Amino acid sequence: MTAGMAVIAYIEKEVIQLLKGIGASDGIGIGRVMIIAEQTLEYTPRQIADVDAELERYRDAVDKFCDNTIEQAENIRKSAGDKEAEILEGHIAIIRDPFMGGEIENLIKAQQCAEAAVEQICKMFIDMFSATGDDLTMQRATDVKDIRDGLLAILLGIQEIKISDAPAGTVLVTKELTPSMTAGINKENIVGIVTETGSQTSHSAILARALEIPAVLSVPNAVTQLSSGEQVIVDGKSGDVLTAPTAEQVEEYSNKRDAFLRERRELENYRGKPTVSASGEEYELFCNIGTPKDATKAIEADGEGVGLFRTEFLFMDRNQLPTEDEQFEAYKQASLILKGEPLIIRTLDIGGDKDIPYLGLAKEENPFMGFRAIRYCLKNRDMFKSQIKAILRASAFGDIRIMFPLITAVEELRAGKELVEEAKNDLRASNIEFDENIQVGVMTETAASSVIADLLAEEADFFSIGTNDLTGYTMAADRGNSDVAYLYSPFQPSVLRSICRIIRCGRDKGISVGMCGEAAANPMMIPLLISFGLTEFSVSAPSVLRVRKNIAKWTKTEADAVANKVMSMATEAEIVAYLESIV
């Protein structure tokens, strides 16, 4: 049996001029490669005679793993922040989980050695998380791999490599950047990161952005195509990795790096300022969050509220539903952190690409068009009502709003609102305070919601456009399928027309319309959204100041001229080419 572990390796290669990957952390890094290659953790599976001794050996390894992880989390907390430290602290929660630990110990009691028991149970979780196809859930597989490798290293007595020893000007190159590896990074010495795996939402990307280190992920065979000691340039925006750069290229990218750092400093000029266009129109600039503590990041980033609280995070990494009280405390905590600023809470959005094993969702041939989100919740009324009551109770502590996901018919909105009224009646009967006038809105993220936006606007208090799903459903294109990736773009004429219609229908009925999809932070989309009449932008915390700056560039008249030209174009390619030329 084997598993992977990180060590420094020196690998020969042929010179390759350009490697392509996913730009996951903006900036330019110029430095020398340090390869972090996988080392085999080998052991021989064996039957054990002394079960008690083997159990003690396993438990000692877990204790040592947790002690190491606490130290690593503190290092991350100092260099990146609380949110990033929580990624590592989550490893402790996973390995201390009674179910996982109990399954490992059961195998040891069946006379398997600790190494084999750890690997078998970890593999079960890795396979389960990996099978979902969802970036967020698949990231749990990376966490479990990290836990597995750490435990095996302790059980086998192998010392892990210290990335903290990397010299100044180092570009780390590895198959997968795990949270535990990141804990050893001295961000003063690491100028770039290149990995063979990962996406813009993976922990590798999150940690790289928090450390403000340029990163390019998913570069095929990066470990074998690069060699330790060679000079490379990492462009964390374009996803380019240049090898053997010429003196002219080094100078060119040095200038780009200086310009990027200068812009980052200039963005601070927009901190504490209102979000207004050049012609004076005001907008709300919110953040997307996944946990209550993320609300702190929103405030630190100068967000003006939260436009999307993804509540499914509260239901993951556990083996049973969160109670009403647990949910109430989470929503209350986020609201108190925001100190009266708006908090839009999306009700449970599961199914499709997000599976929660203990809910027992049946496998579907086409889960994206199946039993998910509001459809699942309306069929599981007790669970749904518990969440709504928790949100209502928390609304007594701030400006909280309810948002239903994946609405495709007016009946679904009405059914959701009826359940809100039932929950209100229950709370009144128990003399529990809540916001009697709480707003109930719709996440418009399907072609159906676009077509009936005028009807939904009659009964919803607000809209929030989810451009990720809206693009996928409108174009009938899975963003994870490379064969149809060319269709997956919010700048497709059909998607832009859908966005425009949703905003117009909302404004005609006097309700606010926001956007919480990734497109809200795209500088090419901003003049179009200004022209269409969007009132609220909700973006990731690191994007707040840049979005505020980009909104401030445009007058309404200028934005209208851009939108008129774009809406007359027939293809995504010409739209993108035009917008790139003016932004």
Distance CA 489, CA 270 (A): 29
Beta bridge partners of 515: 465, 537
Q: Is 169 left (phi over 0), alpha (psi -120 to 50) or beta?
A: left
Which among 316, 317, 311 is positioned nearest to 294, based on CA atoms? Answer: 311
Active site residue 203: yes
> Burial level of 210, CB count in 10 A (0-12/13-18/19+)?
buried
Alpha carbons 43 and 93: distance in angstroms, whole number: 26
- 291 and 297 in contact (C-beta within 8 Å)? no
Q: Which of 203, 200, 199, 197 is nearest to 222 (CA)?
A: 197
Apex 153 CA angle, 151 and 155, nearest 5? 70
Tokens 């700048």 correspond to: 491
Tokens of 324: 């009403």
Q: Is residue 413 a contact partner of residue 511, using CB atoms and an 8 Å limit?
A: no
- At residue 322, the 3 state secondary structure works out as coil
From 91, 203, 287, 500, active-site residue: 203
Give me the amino acid identity at 199: S
**Could you write out the DSSP letters of every residue in 510-531?**
T-EEEE-SGGGG-TTTHHHHHH
Listed residue (389, 295, 398) closest to 347, CA to CA: 389
User: CA 583, CA 579: separation in Å to the nearest integer?
Assistant: 6
CA atoms of 206 and 97, how far apart (whole Å): 24
* Closest to 27 in 3D by CA, of 254, 270, 242: 254
d(CA 208, CA 569): 38
Cβ contact 371:361 at 8 Å: yes
Alpha-carbon gap, residue 302 to 555, rounded angstroms: 23
What are the E-state strand segments in 429-556?
A: 440-444, 462-465, 512-515, 536-539
The CA angle 13-19-20, to the nearest 5 degrees, is 150
Q: Please answer whether residues 21 and 200 qualify as being in contact, where contact means their C-beta atoms are separated by less than 8 angstroms.
A: no
Nearest Cα residue to 564 out of 538, 542, 531? 531
Q: Which residues are catalytic?
A: 203, 516
